[in-house]
Amino acid sequence: MVMNQWEEFLAPYKQAIDELKIKLKGLRKQYESSDKPSPIEFVTGRVKPISSIIDKANQRNIPFDRLREEMYDIAGLRMMCQFVDDIDVVVELLRQRQDFEVVEERNYVEYTKESGYRSYHVIISYPIETLHGQTNILAEIQIRTLAMNFWATIEHTLRYKYDGDYPPEIRNRLERAAEAAFLLDEEMSEIREEIQEAQKYYSRQKSNKHKHD
């Protein structure tokens, strides 16, 4: 594919990411204006870089004319949560939406990957309105806690450096870090109510202060 063919191919994915970021960030805003604590801490999204699409297509033998059907992470979003239990709440919110359809779920929270990776993945089919009519694209939403995200971000960077083939010392440290992230999530869950009371108190103080400013 030449450059403007890529641009044309990626346009609906860019549009999907722009729309979905607004929609999913909107969920957090709705929680903020209610008195319920938000299960969503923050949302990010990206369109997969062209070089990464080409590498993955080559590794998996995916012909370019099958990319829309077979590569489901060209549009990718992440929803970060404070607590492990929030992940289920977010997944349920996604399942109940009318503006897209959940086509697959992968539970790497319960079934941790061998690398130590934990996250809940939801693949959706999302309708995009274009000049040529409606088209459905696949997008991947990764839902994870802040601790899971910290580990995965560091591991992703190292994976690039070592091409997934870690020296034993690094492998060992990554395993211990995954264990530490797991324990951190457990500890935070134990003091969840305490934390949420404090957050409620803090946001009440903040809004009182604004009223008096």
User: 72 or 100: whose CB is closer to ligand GTP?
Assistant: 72
One character per residue 29-68, x = contact with ligand GTP (rule: CB under 6 A): ----------------------------------------
Task: Please name the helix (run of DSSP H) or strand (run of DSSP E) that holds residue 44, with its range, or none.
Answer: strand 42-47
Instruction: State which of residues 106, 107, 128, 136 lies at the interface with ligand GTP (CB under 6 A).
Output: 106
Tokens of 65: 């004319």
Q: Specify the residue for token string 């346009």.
A: 11
> Helix 168-190 crosses helix 146-162 at what angle (to 10 degrees)?
170
Sheet with strand 133-145: strands edge to edge? 42-47, 75-81, 133-145, 120-130, 101-107
Contacted entry of ligand ATP, ligand GTP, none for residue 52, CB cut-off 5 to 8 Å set by kind: ligand ATP
**Among ligand GTP, ligand ATP, none, what binds residue 78 when CB lies within 5 to 8 Å by partner kind?**
ligand ATP
Q: Which stretch binds ligand GTP (CB under 6 A): 86-94, 96-104, 150-158, 185-193?
A: 150-158
49 binds, among ligand ATP, ligand GTP, none (CB under 5 to 8 A by kind): ligand ATP
Nearer Cβ to ligand ATP (39/45): 45
Q: Does 73 bind ligand GTP (CB under 6 A)?
A: yes
Annotated active-site residue in 8, 92, 110, 140: 140
Of 104, 14, 22, residue with least CA distance to 50: 14
Q: State the minimum distance, in angstroms, from the CB of residue 167 to ligand ATP.
A: 20
| Alpha-carbon span 93 to 88, nearest angstrom | 9
* CA angle 185–188–191, rounded 5-degree value: 155
Q: Is 69 a catalytic residue?
A: no
Look at residue 44 and give the partner it binds from ligand GTP, ligand ATP, none, a contact being a CB closer than 5 to 8 Å depending on partner kind: ligand ATP
DSSP helix/strand/coil, 40 = coil
The length of the chain is 213
Burial class (CB in 10 A: 0-12, 13-18, 19+), 80: buried
User: Which residues lie near ligand ATP (CB under 6 A)?
Assistant: 44-46, 48-49, 52, 56, 73, 76-78, 140, 142, 156
Enzyme catalytic residues: 140
